[in-house]
Structure 1
Amino acid sequence: MSERARVKNVRRAIASSDVTRAGVLGLVALGAAAAAVCTVATSGLPAGHDRAVAPPHTNAGVTCVKCHEPGQAPSFAASSGCTACHASSSHLSARPAHRSLAARGELTCATCHPAHDAFQGVTFGPDGGALRWGAGAVPVQAKTNGVFSKPTTVPLVSLAACAKCHDPRDARDPIAACVSRDVRRDPESSLATRPSLCFDEHRPASRAEARAVAWEATRAVAVTTPWVSRASNANGPWLPVAGAFGGAAAFGALVALRDRRRRDKALPPAPKLETPAARRKLPVIDASRCLGCYACVDACPFDVLTIEKYVAVVARPDECCGVVLCERVCPNGSLTIDEGDATKDIPHVDEHLESPHVPGLYLAGDLTGLPLIKNAIHQGVRVVDRIASTMPKKRTEPIDVLVVGAGPAGLSAALRAREKGLSCVVLEQASVAASIKSFPRDKIVHDPPLDLPVEGELWLREATKEELVAQWTRIVRTRAIDVREGRRVTRIEPRGAGFEVGAELEGQETIFRAARVVLAIGRRGTPKTLPLAVDPGAESKISHALADARSFAGKRVLVVGLGDSAMEAAVALARQPGTSVTVSYRGRDFTRGKARNVGEMKQLLAKGALKLLFGTVPVAVTTRSVKLAGTDGRPAHTLPVDAVLVLVGGHPSWGLLEVAGVRRRGEGGEA
């Protein structure tokens, strides 16, 4: 293990050690305690205090300072707080034992009538109605036969207050006359929710008969209505507990964020697969440490690497796409990525795939220099997410997002725009998924699994070309994506806060105005052509794409090129009945292409199902034949053919990009 790798591992071990974890727990506990103290301090009252006040006190405007002096405990024992409003002479106990306890300070007003918590009572109105209330509870309407000339209130005393000295369930106890029979029948019932039915504790100062009527009416209400449940008080005993948990959670989150930042700073950042590399990257293998485990070979989507003599080697450097998956999966760090020359043949975009020279114009897909369908889908999603987060609330253009190209990146962007509530129009010069339709029939569209999730429903793992096209077409139809096919975009010009886009359909230009534009037109652009001498009438024999190999059944076909597209076309043609396939390639050996395609080509060559002519290039095409010249000075010869497929790559779509103002990397000093 290298010294650098050891340092990384030591840092990670320290960051996750038990010593550090114990320190973090201590800090979290300290934060919880501090939060609880602050919560109690800001509440103004000790923990566990219930500040619900009964309706009579609320109606009378009684506040905390009426009963509590500053610094006094809330559960006060003195009666001075009550006698300030209630005359002490009219509230003397009618029972000698109670008066004796009151004289010694052992029985106070709050003993039977708590200002908070279990304080309940009944209020009778002049209309004959009764309202049973409780501190902090929703009042309950009750019926009564008594009629009172003015509102009359009778407090209820919980048997739990009496149980401090009496046994309410004992029939021999003097309080037995004040207890309903069901309390004694049900020993499991709670005394805290059962009222005493005696109301003659105090001597009425006046209107004794009226008070007796009120007591009798209260007794009837107390028996026929339940104990009023107190509403949960957010400022009750759970307040400091909630504050402690909240403080612990917040403090723990801050500590976790700190540790994560430290860890991310210590470890190398993961590569951003959605953004193309600014410089060309190539794998470099330390042969003395390579394990020959095939991890890098399996991870590479373009078969750049292979194993020779138990060591990984770079077999096809021109096919390296710079995704750097090989470096990430290498188990011992023997494979690293070396930066080479700047990648100048790709558009210059920032980390959000926005052109720095044309703000509001985004690029996505193969055009950015990052291959693979999966990456294109991701880029479409990320671009629209960026647009949605930066789009001004006040819209001035009729279209929020205009997407050019209905391939994987364009359709992904359109679907995301719909999810984000953005209006979107897709312009496609051919048809939906035209790039996929150009693949040979029954071609397996296989994208190796990358270490990132695929968002949306465009992706089908290990699907044929037909299955993928059917899936995308169905999505466009069911999701009502506005795709305008057959419209070739000719210009993109900034106008005010948005863009003016011109698109031609059968020679007629239509103008579209949009706030943002996403270019997802692919990288291939215009197919490359060869300097061929073509006889009149032979132009129809030359094609630059193979859509359906079945149409060439029984014909003689020449395939020019030996890249992946050419090899896939040759394999598909060779499987058609009666088809004679010849491949012409100017090189001397297989120098590019995926290993699977190369393997299938070699198998067909061994079976004699096709011919491969190395070191040849076509120079002339007639209605019946092709003239092939040798690249090594060999004489030219004529090959009878019915069709010619020229599959030698394509030119990027720089024409539209240059018109829009997009620059390439390296132009104007950009890295």
Structure 2
Amino acid sequence: MKLTLTYQIILNVRILMQDLLFYLFPGLLIVAAIANHLRLHRRSSARHAEVLKETIASGMTEPPSLHPVIDTSICMGSGACANACPESALGVISGKGLLVSPTHCIGHGACAPACPVGAIKLVFGTAKRGMEIPSVTPEFETNVPGIFIAGELGGMGLIRNAIKQGTQAIGTIAGRPRGLADLDVVIVGAGPAGISSSLAAKQSHLRFVTIEQEDSLGGTTYHYPRNKLVMTAPMNLPIIGEIKVQEVSKEQLMEIWKRVLEQAQLGIHFSERMEELSKDGDLFVIRTNKATYRAANVLLAIGRRGTPRKLGAPGEELSKVVYRLIEAEQYKAQHVLVVGGGDSALEAALDIAGQDQTTVTLSYRGDAFGRVKPKNRTRLDIAVAEGRLQVMLGSTVDEITADEVALNFAGDNVRLKNDAVIICAGGELPTPMLKKLGIEVEAHYGT
């Protein structure tokens, strides 16, 4: 009897334990899952906070184009916006979404529809820095009849939007009566908007010329860092049709543009820079560094990088002077001067300094590199300490000759041996030219 009772007690305890496990185990799993989620969330928040700290320290707080503004009173911190951003420009800190890397944002706009509570709106400019955008109609024509603007100059940096705008603008031009001008349209720029508009012009049998100030296709995207993700959706081009891609790097996009150019035979005029745009009656006169054109319409498909800003120094017209770094390897065993104080200048100087037997000098008129990424500043300090790179702050270029450069450095004239000069001084937008023609330009301050 005693054994039977003991056995019954053991059996009851076993059943009780099984019941406890049955009910508690799922709860324990849920608790563990929540704890793991919170741990990952804290880790992610700390990482985004560090990125934001670096952004503020480097002064890189102003987005270049269309960008999100997040209403933190609505934001629930789901992270959907950060997950949707191809540029990793967004993050979640202390349960709220934030633009942690503003300069990385190029206007994809994928964050706004991804937000589950509608806390994001897309705007141009900020309270501190206004963004000037030409006013255009739904057909992308300015208030001056016959002048159209498509792509980045109009504030939209997204490739697929630029392609649509260029195509639509040409559709409007093609639907109008042909005039007496030599050309129906001159297309300025061979970026995404310029390429699509050129294809549309050829498809519509328009008389057109496309000019590009650089020697390459792609516009602003050509200057992006290697392997940068530049497209996240298919694109549809006139003549070519749909190009079914999902994620495309800069290099892959450049290859696509080359194939498009070969297939369509567009005859783009490379290394031809527009220097003046004026009106002659009902026609437009476009003067370049190589020719003069008369057209009924003009489509400005240029980027916001603008025309490279020049130094104005004697000798700047020499062939050894360029305004961007393409391949550092080409400067091996040379004496190189890099001019500029931004990230592009530092990165160019550092890349070239990594080549064998190369002498690199970085010249900047300011007394400090105030608006650069901390990582680039650290790399620069290491390169200087190792003797791979010379920095001359507070210096300006006085003269460039075939084998030397003359710098004004703290009031002294310093002459250096030189084989190549790379100027990274930014670009000049054609805003004064637009205003001179009477094109309305609006300043947006976070609107």
Q: Does the alignment reach a TM-score above 0.5?
A: yes
Task: Determine which of 154, 163, 166 is the counterpart of 1:368.
Answer: 154
Deviation at 1:652?
Answer: 0.2
Pairing 1:572-611 to 2, within 5 Å after superposition: 572-579=351-358, 591=371
Q: Tell me how many residue pairs correspond in the alignment.
A: 366
| Structure 2 residue aligned with 1:479 | 264
Higher gyration radius (CA): 1
Question: 2:182, 2:317 → 1: CA distance?
Answer: 44
Deviation at 1:464?
Answer: 4.8
| Structure 2 residue aligned with 1:403 | 187
Task: Determine which of 420, 442, 445 is the counterpart of 1:665.
Answer: 442
Deviation at 1:653?
Answer: 2.0
Q: Does structure 2 retain, via aligned residues, the 8 Å contact 1:587–1:614?
A: no
Deviation at 1:650?
Answer: 1.0
Deviation at 1:492?
Answer: 3.9
Q: Given the alignment of the two structures, is residue 455 of structure 1 paired with residue 241 of structure 2, yes or no?
A: no
Structure 1 residues 500, 332: closer, same or farther in 2, change over 3 A?
closer
Task: Determine which of 267, 271, 277 is the counterpart of 1:491.
Answer: 277
One-letter identity of the residue aligned with 2:114 = V
Q: Does structure 2 retain, via aligned residues, the 8 Å contact 1:444–1:464?
A: yes
Q: Does structure 1 retain, via aligned residues, the 8 Å contact 2:221–2:250?
A: no
Unmatched 5+ stretches in structure 1: 1-278, 630-634
| Structure 2 residue aligned with 1:108 | none
Structure 1 residues 590, 371: closer, same or farther in 2, change over 3 A?
farther
Question: 1:511, 1:418 → 2: CA distance?
Answer: 18
1:626-663 Cα shifts (integer Å, max 9, x gaps):
5666xxxxx99989774553313111023543454423
Task: Determine which of 418, 425, 443 is the counterpart of 2:226.
Answer: 443
Q: Given the alignment of the two structures, is residue 345 of structure 1 paired with residue 132 of structure 2, yes or no?
A: yes
Deviation at 1:331?
Answer: 3.5
Q: Does structure 2 retain, via aligned residues, the 8 Å contact 1:403–1:519?
A: yes
Q: Does structure 2 retain, via aligned residues, the 8 Å contact 1:286–1:335?
A: no
SS at match of 2:352: helix
Deviation at 1:344?
Answer: 5.2
Question: 2:78, 2:142 → 1: CA distance?
Answer: 41
One-letter identity of the residue aligned with 2:300 = L
One-letter identity of the residue aligned with 2:194 = G
Q: Does structure 2 retain, via aligned residues, the 8 Å contact 1:296–1:329?
A: no
Q: Given the alignment of the two structures, is residue 528 of structure 1 paired with residue 309 of structure 2, yes or no?
A: yes
SS at match of 1:444: coil
SS at match of 2:266: coil
Question: 1:605, 1:380 → 2: CA distance?
Answer: 45
Pairing 1:48-63 to 2, within 5 Å after superposition: none
1:484-504 Cα shifts (integer Å, max 9, x gaps):
4455443342644xx343434
Task: Determine which of 500, 512, 528 is the counterpart of 2:294.
Answer: 512
| Structure 1 residue aligned with 2:145 | 359
Q: Does structure 2 retain, via aligned residues, the 8 Å contact 1:527–1:544?
A: yes
Task: Determine which of 400, 408, 416 is the counterpart of 2:200.
Answer: 416
Question: 2:231, 2:260 → 1: CA distance?
Answer: 23
Deviation at 1:604?
Answer: 8.2
Give TM-score, length-normalised by structure 2. Answer: 0.62
SS at match of 2:163: helix
Structure 1 residues 546, 366: closer, same or farther in 2, change over 3 A?
same
Structure 1 residues 484, 304: closer, same or farther in 2, change over 3 A?
same
Deviation at 1:475?
Answer: 2.8
Task: Determine which of 525, 543, 554 is the counterpart of 2:333.
Answer: 554
Deviation at 1:354?
Answer: 0.8
Structure 1 residues 443, 504: closer, same or farther in 2, change over 3 A?
same
Deviation at 1:415?
Answer: 0.6
Deviation at 1:577?
Answer: 3.4
Structure 1 residues 354, 538: closer, same or farther in 2, change over 3 A?
closer
Structure 1 residues 641, 601: closer, same or farther in 2, change over 3 A?
farther
Structure 1 residues 576, 614: closer, same or farther in 2, change over 3 A?
closer
Pairing 1:71-90 to 2, within 5 Å after superposition: none
Task: Determine which of 155, 169, 186 is the counterpart of 1:383.
Answer: 169
One-letter identity of the residue aligned with 1:519 = L
Identity %: 27
Q: Does structure 1 retain, via aligned residues, the 8 Å contact 2:343–2:376?
A: no
| Structure 2 residue aligned with 1:651 | 428
Unmatched 5+ stretches in structure 2: 1-64
Structure 1 residues 445, 662: closer, same or farther in 2, change over 3 A?
farther
Question: 2:285, 2:428 → 1: CA distance?
Answer: 23
Q: Does structure 2 retain, via aligned residues, the 8 Å contact 1:381–1:413?
A: yes
Deviation at 1:454?
Answer: 1.6
1:597-641 Cα shifts (integer Å, max 9, x gaps):
x76886787788898999944335673675666xxxxx9998977
| Structure 1 residue aligned with 2:7 | none
One-letter identity of the residue aligned with 2:201 = A
Structure 1 residues 526, 517: closer, same or farther in 2, change over 3 A?
closer
Deviation at 1:355?
Answer: 0.4
One-letter identity of the residue aligned with 1:348 = S
SS at match of 1:345: strand
Structure 1 residues 503, 327: closer, same or farther in 2, change over 3 A?
same
Question: 2:335, 2:258 → 1: CA distance?
Answer: 34
SS at match of 1:401: strand
1:306-353 Cα shifts (integer Å, max 9, x gaps):
455665433455676565433332344454557755955232222321
Structure 1 residues 412, 569: closer, same or farther in 2, change over 3 A?
farther
1:549-584 Cα shifts (integer Å, max 9, x gaps):
222113454544465533553464355334455667
More strand per residue: 2
Structure 1 residues 326, 575: closer, same or farther in 2, change over 3 A?
farther
Pairing 1:116-135 to 2, within 5 Å after superposition: none
SS at match of 1:545: coil
1:387-444 Cα shifts (integer Å, max 9, x gaps):
34x424x66555433322233221210112233444433234454527469748x833
Question: 1:309, 1:612 → 2: CA distance?
Answer: 41
Q: CA RMSD in A?
A: 4.8
Question: 2:85, 2:408 → 1: CA distance?
Answer: 41
Q: Does structure 2 retain, via aligned residues, the 8 Å contact 1:565–1:647?
A: yes
1:459-480 Cα shifts (integer Å, max 9, x gaps):
7753455x65554344334323
Q: Does structure 1 retain, via aligned residues, the 8 Å contact 2:212–2:268?
A: yes
Q: Does structure 2 retain, via aligned residues, the 8 Å contact 1:428–1:486?
A: yes
Q: Does structure 2 retain, via aligned residues, the 8 Å contact 1:355–1:363?
A: yes
Question: 1:286, 1:374 → 2: CA distance?
Answer: 30
Question: 2:164, 2:104 → 1: CA distance?
Answer: 22
One-letter identity of the residue aligned with 2:168 = R
Greater relative contact order structure (CA < 8 Å, 6+ sep): 2
Structure 1 residues 666, 492: closer, same or farther in 2, change over 3 A?
same
SS at match of 1:410: helix
Q: Does structure 2 retain, via aligned residues, the 8 Å contact 1:571–1:601?
A: no
Q: Given the alignment of the two structures, is residue 313 of structure 1 paired with residue 98 of structure 2, yes or no?
A: yes
Deviation at 1:376?
Answer: 2.7
